[in-house]
Structure 1
Amino acid sequence: MSPFNPTHVSHKQVEAYPIAAAEFQADGSGKVGVNHPEHGYLVVPVPAGFLRRPGAVTEGDMLVRYAPTAEEPHGYLSHSPRAVFEAGYAAIGGQAEPASGAKRLSMADIQSVIVSENYHRVPGSTFMVCFLTLRNGFIVTGESACADPDAYDRATGEKYARANAVEKICTLEGYLLRERLADEAAAARGQHDAVQVA
Structure 2
Amino acid sequence: MKTYIGTKIIQAEPAFRIDGKIYPESGPVPRSMNREEGYRVQYPDGYESWSPKDVFERAYLPLTVNPDLRTDAPSISRQMVDDFILETWTQTMGDKTTVVRALLRNGFEIVESSACVSAENYDEKLGREICLGKIKDKVWFLLGFLLQTAVHGVKKAENDAKPTGGVSFGLALEAMKKGKGARLPRWKPDVVIWAQYPNKHSKMTAPYLYVESLYGRVPWKETMIELFSEDWEIVEG
How would you bin the TM-score normalised by the shorter chain?
A: 0.3 to 0.5
Normalising to structure 1: TM-score of the pair? 0.41
Higher helix share: 1
- How does the TM-score come out when normalised to structure 2? 0.35
- Greater RCO, CA 8 A, separation 6+: 1
